Amino acid sequence: MNAKLKEYITKEQVTMYLCIVGLFKFLDYKSKQRFDKQKIGELRTLYIQGSNPSISKQITDIASPYASKLVIEHLNLSKRSQYQVEQDKDFITLTSNNGTYIIVDLMQCNCAFMKQYLLPCKHIFYCRRLNNVELFLPSMIHNRWLSAENDTLNDLMPLHNSPVYLTDIHNIEKAAKKK
């Protein structure tokens, strides 16, 4: 690598400006490489910490690295969580010392994490595990978090990712509070 740099710098046509610009581009490239290696290492650590490798692989295959990390963390948190559960025809209510959460269709929750990130939270995973249904479905990842190579999944996403459905959960929250 040093030889390549020396070769480039010693060329007669190269100005000081081009050398500096080239050096900054090189440093930027190297820092991105380190960042990518760090993110991959973090995801591997999450695999080892106890999440189901096949589910983790499904998540990382379709979601961005950041979204994958968040979802896998919540999947792992759901195993350690404990709630008082009330099941109704339309929704499930989870109560803990930290608050009360309403889960609709085992896909939507009224918690701050779900509202902010539009990703499945520990409450959803807890309820899915409780009801013995498949823990993860690709449609649980909102379109904004799909990795670039999975943009074709946008057409396969069901209605629950639409803004209309997201307002439905707000209406169900209001109905639950009235009971």
- The residue ranges of every structural domain in the chain are 1-48, 52-178
| Model confidence at 6: pLDDT above 60 | yes
Query: In this predicted model, what pLDDT tens digit does every residue of 165-178 receive, in sequence order?
Result: 444 555 555 556 65
Query: In this predicted model, what pLDDT tens digit does every residue of 56-80 receive, in sequence order?
Result: 888 888 888 899 999 999 999 998 8
Residue 154's pLDDT is: 43
pTM for this one? 0.59
Give yes or no for a contact between 145 and 119, defined as CB atoms under 8 angstroms apart: yes
Determine the Cα–Cα distance for residues 66 and 156; give it in Å rounded to an integer: 22
Average confidence (pLDDT) over 39-61: 65
Place of tokens 């998540």: 59
- pLDDT tier at 155, thresholds 50, 70, 90: very low
Give yes or no for a contact between 56 and 46, defined as CB atoms under 8 angstroms apart: yes
Cβ neighbours around 147 below 10 Å, total: 16
